Structure 1
Amino acid sequence: MSSDPARLLGTLPIGTRVVVRYRIEDAVHGATDALGELVARQVDTCTVRTRSAGDVVIPLADVTAAKTVPPPPAHRGR
C-alpha cells in the first residue's frame, strides 16, 4: 500500500478501482477497508462506491493505507 495514501487518492482518476483502509471508532476493530470504485474526491474526503455498503465517504485524515486494485473477475457461467 502507498506510503502517503491520502496523496495517492488525490492523484488517481475518478473511476479507479481501489482498496482503502481507514480508522473507525470501533474499539474492537479500529479500522476497516472499502473496496470499490473511487467516485468522488473533495479537499478532505474521498468517496468509494462498494458493492455491499454503497457509497462510503472516507475522511482523508482517517486513511491509513490505499492502493489500486485490478478489476473484479468476470462472472462465470454455470
Structure 2
Amino acid sequence: MNFSEPAALLRSLQPGVRVVVRYRIDGGFTDALGTLGAVGDTECTVATRRGDVVIAYPLVTAAKTVPPPPPRRTPRRS
C-alpha cells in the first residue's frame, strides 16, 4: 500500500483514530481535526467539534494521525 497517498492512509486506518485531514473546498483548502468515523470506499467521515464532516477521497490533499488532545485546563478562580 502506498502511504504517501493521503487517501490510502485514511483507508488503512481503523475508526476511532484521531486525525487531521486537509481537503479541497471551493476557493481553497480546509482542515478537519477529529476522530475518524466511517471509512468507506469513496469517502470517510471525521467527527469534529462542530459535527461530522464527510470527505471524498479525491478531495484529500494531506492526512495524518495526531495525538489525543491535551486535558482541559481548570478554570482560574478570582
TM-score by length of 2: 0.88
Q: Structure 1 regions of 5+ residues with no counterpart? A: none
Give the whole-Å Cα distance in 2 for the aligned partners of 1:61 and 1:25.
14
Alpha-carbon separation, structure 2, partners of 1:17 and 1:36:
5
Which residue type is aligned with residue 59 of structure 2? D
State, as a whole percentage, how many aligned pairs show the same letter.
62
Tell me the distance in 2 between the aligned counterparts of 1:31 and 1:67: 16
Q: Secondary structure at the match of 1:35?
A: strand
Query: Whole-Å Cα distance in 2 between the matches of residues 6 and 73 of structure 1?
Result: 27
TM-score normalised by the chain length of structure 1: 0.88
Answer 1 or 2: higher relative contact order, Cα 8 Å, separation at least 6: 1
1:4 aligns with 5
Q: Which residue of 2 aligns with 1:19?
A: 20
What number of residue pairs does the alignment pair up?
A: 73
Q: Which has the larger radius of gyration?
A: 2
